[in-house]
Amino acid sequence: MSREPSGKRTRLPEKKPQRTEQNPGRNSRENPEGKNRAVFSSSEIILVKKDLSSLWSRKGIRALLVLVPLFLAVIVPIVYFTAISLVPIAPGARVPEGIWALLPEYEGKLAYRQAWMEAFTTLLCPMLFLCVPLLTGAVSAACAFIGEKEEGTLETLMLSSMNARSIFSAKIGCCVMLSVFLSLMAFAAFFLTVTVADVLTGAPFFLRIDWLITLFPLTPVMSLFSVVFISLIITRVHSTGEAMQTLGYLILPIVVVYLVQFTGVFRLHWAVLLVLAAALGAVSVILYNISAQNFQPEKLFVQEAGDSVYES
């Protein structure tokens, strides 16, 4: 009787190594690329390329993604520069005190046209530029998510070997990368346009720390937020056009924040922009996780099936 317990004690250690040997095998099947997994798997990269090709092949969407940034980053500054250059200055014309209050470092140092050019590039142009990542991100997400759902290809994609989380991550990454790329191209065109205008008017060079923060932390965060916002409402809208109607909810807060500056309540300094970028980034991550949890076939298509049965 005393030997049986000792035999059991010798068998117990033999089972533990078997369990530890099974874990690496199971992990390798779940993650065939190893522990140091890349940002996108090979299947996700294929889906990203497919979505980029699909978005760019649609003439209407391509025109919208090109013309909107071109209008905001190039056409509007050219029209403004032409207006302040051609409109005659009345004798004794002075810049309003409210504008000087927003530009205290330049008060009394700039001429009439120079002051208006500085006010435009410092106070209004950041608002126009931030509309680019919001609009391009929302438009691309509307096509990548709701457009495919409307066409029925999203349901087919859900039946493939990719899981829902991988599909969601690939589509989010595709739309964010496209939006950031278009925003950077828009800024390059804006940089050339405004630099020429600053030289011709003699205004100070516009690219300062506020603009750098707007370009790097804020622009990618704006793209991510707009894409995640559209993915979050995928179960609430039924068409791409209906999704694009929600763009006003994205643009209105940006317009209000920048226009409130003219009331003298506050000024968007670089520290405020950093806080806004951090806060919006945190909100985007939270919404991303919520949207990823809802991106499941039973949640995406059951509601649509119920609506179709109700209508019939």
Question: Residue 220 and residue 230: Cα distance in Å, rounded?
Answer: 16
Closest CA to 151 of 229, 237, 46, 239: 239
Contact present, 118 and 103 (Cβ < 8 Å): yes
Side-chain-side CA neighbours of residue 214 (13 Å) = 24
State the pLDDT at residue 304.
54
State the pLDDT at residue 143.
94
Top-confidence residue, 91 or 171:
171
Residue type, 118: E
For tokens 């899981």, the residue is 163
Quick check: 162 pLDDT over 60? yes
**296 DSSP 8-state letter:** S
What digits encode the pLDDT tens for the residues 38-86? 678 899 999 999 999 999 999 999 999 999 999 999 999 999 999 999 9
What digits encode the pLDDT tens for the residues 74-87? 999 999 999 999 98
Quick check: 13 pLDDT over 70? no
Question: Residue 263 and residue 168: Cα distance in Å, rounded?
Answer: 42
Q: How confident is the model at residue 108 (pLDDT cuts 50, 70, 90)?
A: confident
Closest CA to 275 of 257, 249, 262: 257
Residue type, 4: E
The mean pLDDT of 214-237, rounded to a whole number, is 94
State the pLDDT at residue 302.
65
What digits encode the pLDDT tens for the residues 238-281? 889 899 888 889 999 999 999 988 887 888 889 999 999 999 99
Buried b (16+ CB within 10 A) or exposed e, 186-205: bbeebeebbeebbeebebbe
pTM, whole model, 2 decimals? 0.83
Quick check: 89 pLDDT over 50? yes
Buried b (16+ CB within 10 A) or exposed e, 275-303: ebbeebbeebeebbeebbeebeeeebbee
State the pLDDT at residue 152.
85
Question: Residue 143 and residue 270: Cα distance in Å, rounded?
Answer: 34
